[in-house]
Structure 1
Amino acid sequence: MDPGAPPTPSQQAAAPPAASPTTLLGRYQLGRVLGRGSFAKVYQACSVADSSPVAIKIIDKKSKSLNAVTEAQVLREVSAMRLLQSHPNILKIHEVMATRSKIYLVMELAPGGELFSKLTRRGRFTEPATRRLFRQLISALIFCHENGVAHRDIKPQNLLLDGEGNLKVSDFGLSALPEQVRGDGLLHTACGTPAFTAPEVVARRGYSGPKADAWSCGVILYMLLCGSLPFDDNNLVSMYKKIARRDYQFPNWVSKPARYVINQLLHPNPTSRMSLEALLETAWFKKSSVLSKSQSDGSLYEMAALSKDYDFGSVSSVNAFDIISLSAGLNLSGLFETSNKQSKRFTSTAPFEDIRDTVREVGGRLGYAVEKMKGGSLVLRKGGSVLIVEVWEIAQSLMLVEVKVGDGGADFGEHHWGEWRAGLEELVLSWQTDDV
């Protein structure tokens, strides 16, 4: 058969049709899948307008795995990333879009992939290469802590690399925002990945978010230099016994200054554990070194953008997320659908404290007493009726407030909503409807 001859009709019928690229809401062209979880997939994509590369996390609101807890994680991730996006080593979020069935988080693309994958391929890193990446991690985390955010899930899978091998901290779904700190100044929610989580977090005692992140950094530093976990056991009880005994060994290639840093970060007592600020002054961290091309994986310089030396001024550019945040008509009702139809949402530019105080004042006038107040949530009761008010910071100076009826409030009619609407009106930027 002549290879240059056109295909016969039967061959044309047998040939599979060419796959056409999927265009998302007319704005982004989807590419390959970068990763997937129980209720979300992450795609590589590019902007239709300018062909710039991005990553898009697509969250399926209909997934059985998506519940109130995971919804809160998504909102927390958006809030934290929006607050922290001026740091060069924190993954940026560009915009958020939603339909009735999906939520789309459009983020910076990190073409270098996960640090975990590179570590798995290489086995371990040299000390100069480790120091470069570790400095970037510490710089990003100090910036988080200065802005009241504790990451709480630092692990190699959540540390990404850009095209030049620079580190990008990602996945803030388990992060703690300032309003989650209790009156004692501590956090109390146990979360994270056991092999990287500080012992005081697992023990469900009150803990300092920055000190818990410092522990995770100690595990990361050990892994980068040694190629394995310091505490590795399938039995969690056995693993935490090893942690309490500080039962781990160093390979002979790890230098004494590096061992000192790891030992100080992996102290099981958070009071005695080295802080990240103290880490900046250690000899190993401050050591100057020039990386070769092979050591730095393509980058010919050390980037030590420590928060005390870097100017994190206000972002001069205005992106799509900023634009929709300023819109009085911003409708976020499509972000999440609730099984409880007796709920109302509104956006507000008022500070959290003003929203909380106004809710308490209006509730008092209408005969409600505050039964519980924790973080961004208030529970008010009037006889058998219970109202739950939750406040989320979804962008800088933009709050999403949900007022929903708890169990036993089936008789909560429109006239009750009318009273609350009138009382809260001074806070409201825009009431949300069920229309997308």
Structure 2
Amino acid sequence: MEPGATMPPLRPSAAVTATAAASPTILLGRYRLGRVLGRGSFAKVYQAFSIVDSSAVAIKIIDKKSKSLNAVTEAQVLREVSAMRLLQSHPNILKIHEVMATRSKIYLVMELAAGGELFSIIARRGRFTEASTRRLFQQLISALIFCHESGVSHRDLKPQNILLDGEGNIKISDFGLSALSEQLRDDGLLHTACGTPAFTAPEVVARRGYSGSKADAWSCGVILYMLLCGTLPFDDSNIVSMYRKIAKRDYQFPNWVSRPARYVINQLLDPNPGSRMSLEALQGTTWFKKSSPLDKSQSDGSLYEMAALAKDYDFGCGSSANAFNIISLSSGLDLSGLFEMSNVQRSMRLTSSASFENIKDKVRELGGRLGYAVEKMKGGNLVLRKRASVMIVEVWEIAPSLMLVEMKWEGDGGGYPDEIHWGEWRAGLEELLCSWHNDEA
């Protein structure tokens, strides 16, 4: 080296760099992290392997510093852990092995369901045959009855939260919205509206007090329909139209669904929880009790292979899963607004147990205070005008003593966004409110 020359900076060789990049992430000295299985707003789920015995697990890593994690979501995490620990002994409920934490992260170490989500399988491959549907549904009902006997209502049952293990057995997961027995009020009922609209019982939406087990039974009816038909029973991307279909029991069966299976679905999808079939009564139906040719003796713990389940899919179904319609409802949101080009909010929806007359009077009185004049009233609709802004208020009865109100603003989208007064409308209608169904205001 020339005198005075500087030493070039030392760089790791390509081989060293590749080795470092390939080094697995070791979590708290106990698990080796693998690929990402899924991700949410404040958590990621990884496949991982135990350092001790190389067994495969799933680890949900929750970022405590995430802006998406608030008091509500923290409570959901605690509820999920409490429920899963309470339900450890049932073979069709996902097991939680341990909970670890640092200052910034929470780690939930859970059983790995290698078969993935039931939702993904339906979306990819279409409907199941009746024999395979029955076997999966028997497992689902067995697990839910165990939940209810243990004082746990799931309240967010949908194919996204039903996993399959490597042998094709159901594993119920995601108990973040579950309710424990201590959440019952003095009337013995639950009152929190939660869940995904396409799978949520109408009485839950109404917030009038409901039985968690009957609400789960409704969700089971939707899931059973999807397994047999490959689509949702109330298949509508507009939440208002969907509620109207639910109230009218407006759904059709394809001709391949057997009469006994139709009977079970009809009894589960009863908008009246008082006459809706319970899961215990379901176990006594002819369709449910029928043995499946896929069943094997469980005396030796043997289970049929996942390949046997895959072979039983109906790949040639012309009306298999309408993936877009399923996905559009799976998040619990009405996505129709994604296709509007304006940045101005143009509608709000709410449910109310008030009478049509009370709703009409309140809207007229509040509109008057905000400078709107009632231009006309026709049927269940009110039309209010304020200069170039027009407010159309439509009211439907979607269930006994439950009204759905949709308020739609029409204008040029340029001069009057501040005059819609969504905040004032929300505050003024609060006394009539059961629940809001969009929260953009």
Q: TM-score, normalised on structure 1?
A: 0.65
Distance 1:169 1:256 in 2: 28
Distance 2:308 2:85 in 1: 28
Preserved CA contact (<8 Å) 1:164 1:299: no
| TM-aligned CA deviation for residue 168 of structure 1 | 0.2
Identity of aligned residues (%): 83
| TM-aligned CA deviation for residue 298 of structure 1 | 3.3
Preserved CA contact (<8 Å) 2:166 2:306: no
1:247 corresponding residue in structure 2: 250
Does the C-alpha gap of structure 1 residues 61 and 74 become closer, same or farther in structure 2, counting only changes over 3 Å? same
1:21 corresponding residue in structure 2: 24
Candidates 284, 293, 298, aligned match of 2:307? 298
1:131 corresponding residue in structure 2: 134
1:221 corresponding residue in structure 2: 224
Does the C-alpha gap of structure 1 residues 290 and 236 become closer, same or farther in structure 2, counting only changes over 3 Å? same
| TM-aligned CA deviation for residue 289 of structure 1 | 2.3
Distance 1:15 1:75 in 2: 41
| TM-aligned CA deviation for residue 297 of structure 1 | 3.9
Give the 3-state SS of the residue equivalent to 1:69 in structure 2. Answer: helix
Distance 2:65 2:12 in 1: 42
Does the C-alpha gap of structure 1 residues 155 and 10 become closer, same or farther in structure 2, counting only changes over 3 Å? closer
| TM-aligned CA deviation for residue 101 of structure 1 | 0.1
1:166 corresponding residue in structure 2: 169
Distance 2:257 2:71 in 1: 45
Candidates 120, 126, 144, aligned match of 1:141? 144
Distance 1:187 1:224 in 2: 28
CA displacement, residues 260-290 of structure 1 (integer Å, 9 cap, x when unaligned): 0000000000001000000000000001121
| Structure 1 residue identity aligned to 2:93 | I
Preserved CA contact (<8 Å) 2:167 2:305: no
Q: Which structure would you say has the larger Rg?
A: 2
CA displacement, residues 55-92 of structure 1 (integer Å, 9 cap, x when unaligned): 00000000000000000000000000000010000000
CA displacement, residues 114-166 of structure 1 (integer Å, 9 cap, x when unaligned): 11111112101000000000000000000000011000000000000011000
2:313 corresponding residue in structure 1: none
| Structure 2 residue identity aligned to 1:298 | A
2:186 corresponding residue in structure 1: 183
Preserved CA contact (<8 Å) 1:129 1:296: no
Q: TM-score, normalised on structure 2?
A: 0.64
RMSD: 2.0
Question: Is 1:107 aligned with 2:110?
Answer: yes
Which stretches of structure 1, 4 residues or longer, exceed 2 Å deviation after superposition? 9-18, 295-300
| Structure 1 residue identity aligned to 2:168 | G
Superposed, 1:305-384 pairs within 5 Å as none
Does the C-alpha gap of structure 1 residues 202 and 16 become closer, same or farther in structure 2, counting only changes over 3 Å? same
Distance 1:66 1:174 in 2: 15
Does the C-alpha gap of structure 1 residues 65 and 11 become closer, same or farther in structure 2, counting only changes over 3 Å? closer
Give the 3-state SS of the residue equivalent to 1:205 in structure 2. Answer: coil
1:34 corresponding residue in structure 2: 37
| Structure 2 residue identity aligned to 1:167 | I
Distance 2:226 2:205 in 1: 21
Distance 1:10 1:25 in 2: 27
Structure 1 gap ranges (5+): 1-8, 301-436
Question: Is 1:154 aligned with 2:124?
Answer: no
Preserved CA contact (<8 Å) 2:132 2:292: no
Deviates more, 1:284-293 or 1:148-157: 284-293
2:64 corresponding residue in structure 1: 61
Give the 3-state SS of the residue equivalent to 1:233 in structure 2. Answer: coil
Candidates 44, 49, 54, aligned match of 1:46? 49
Distance 1:73 1:290 in 2: 40
Superposed, 1:190-201 pairs within 5 Å as 190-201=193-204
| Structure 2 residue identity aligned to 1:228 | T
Question: Is 1:273 aligned with 2:276?
Answer: yes
| Structure 1 residue identity aligned to 2:25 | T
Distance 1:105 1:123 in 2: 32
Distance 2:177 2:62 in 1: 16
1:331 corresponding residue in structure 2: none
Question: Is 1:91 aligned with 2:119?
Answer: no
2:75 corresponding residue in structure 1: 72
